[in-house]
Amino acid sequence: MKTSENKILVTSPLLPDLQDFNEYLRQIWDSKWLTNNGSFHQQFEKALAEYLGVEYISVFTNGTLPLITALQALGLKKGEVITTPYSFVATTHSIWWNQLKPVFVDVEPTTGNIDPEKIEAAITENTVAIMPVHVYGQPCDNERIDVIAKRHNLKVIYDAAHAFGVRKEGKSILEWGDVSTLSFHATKVFGTIEGGALICHSAEMKHQIDNLKNFGFRGETVVEAPGINGKMDEVRAAFGLLNLKQIDAAIEARHNVAMRYREAIDKIEGLSYLVEQSDIRYNYGYFPIFVDETRYGISRDALYEKLKANNIFGRRYFYPLISTFEPYKDFPSAALENLPIATKMAEQVLCLPMHHALSEEDVKRIIRGVLK
């Protein structure tokens, strides 16, 4: 039976005040400078670095290009990159586009993040890098990953697409590894419609990254590398500048929704969620629950469909595993018996609606839907 109640979507974009945005657009129109490192681009990079607590950041036109460029900037030409099957497919695609081979290893059940012990076991003479993902904004075990990387002389590229503003013990987790990447897609906590960023740790590396995202140009007439066009335009930079002014309030609103969900789910047999780690400042970008069919009474997919019938749209994220997709399913490391925890999480996960604009009545409806 269909419901007449309004749709509740899994996410909703963070939008700046339209009047403020129109004023920025007027300035862009007056300047007639639409891209190529204009005023808003420069302001945005500076403000973003200050907010995130990092020194060197390069913004891009989407969140996938920073991943591709990171591998280029680190000079990784051939070999294997150890990564997770439990992520959005862009993580692995970036490895493939660099003609490197992804090697999948299993994840930790408490976080969904790549398991450092499995990393160590997968290293061969062909391994050149590790690409972990801060899944749902849960920080990876960076200390153990760092020890492994140093022991085997490997580069570490953190996919921090979910981890905007996340801090551990008061410091940005974007400082970890050799580089980190962000996504500013409209579905993320912080968005610029489309966009992304690459964080590094030296002026020299930022200069190299900025050249690579501008066709490889060094100066006006010299091309030093086969770069791409990854530049962020002025409109999206202006959009991002305005969203920075309201991001803290948006994160706090998400936090309040997460607290309500936890309180309800603690009382429901067969449902669980990821427990927060200590000393972490989260951004509450997602609220995944995991459905134990035997104890809950119905499957994850049945709950997903029941919520949809009531105009509540969750997302089975991440399902299916990247390792099951056609380009990667025949890799030896993609065998499901090697990935039991990731496989179980993918089969049980359902992300409930989570965004800053959920009303009290929205949250009550979602909880009622799950209680049914």
Mean pLDDT over residues 81-86, rounded? 98
Using 50, 70 and 90 to split pLDDT, how confident is the model at 53? very high
Contact 288, 351 (CB under 8 A): yes
Mean pLDDT over residues 61-74, rounded? 98
Tokens of 305: 């469909």
Determine the pLDDT at residue 316.
98
Beta bridge partners of 273: 289
Mean pLDDT over residues 223-235, rounded? 95
Determine the pLDDT at residue 363.
98
Using 50, 70 and 90 to split pLDDT, how confident is the model at 219? confident
For the cut 80, the answer to whether the pLDDT of residue 54 exceeds it is yes
Give residues with Cβ within 8 angstroms of 368, minimum separation 6.
none
Taking only the tens place, the pLDDT of each residue in 235-249 is 999 999 999 999 999
Taking only the tens place, the pLDDT of each residue in 295-309 is 999 999 999 999 999
Determine the pLDDT at residue 365.
98
Neighbouring CB atoms inside 10 A of 205's CB total 18
Mean pLDDT over residues 312-331, rounded? 98
Taking only the tens place, the pLDDT of each residue in 92-104 is 999 999 999 999 9
Average pLDDT taken over every residue of the chain: 97
Whether omega before 318 lies within 30 degrees of 0, making that bond cis, reads yes
For the cut 70, the answer to whether the pLDDT of residue 335 exceeds it is yes
Tokens of 30: 């007056």
Taking only the tens place, the pLDDT of each residue in 127-137 is 999 999 999 99
Determine the pLDDT at residue 5.
85
Q: Percentage of the chain surpassing pLDDT 90?
A: 97
Taking only the tens place, the pLDDT of each residue in 111-124 is 999 999 999 999 99
Could you tell me the domains of the chain? 18-244 (3.40.640.10), 247-371 (3.90.1150.10)
Residue type, 56: Y
Q: pTM score > 0.95 for this model? A: yes
Using 50, 70 and 90 to split pLDDT, how confident is the model at 220? confident
Determine the pLDDT at residue 3.
61
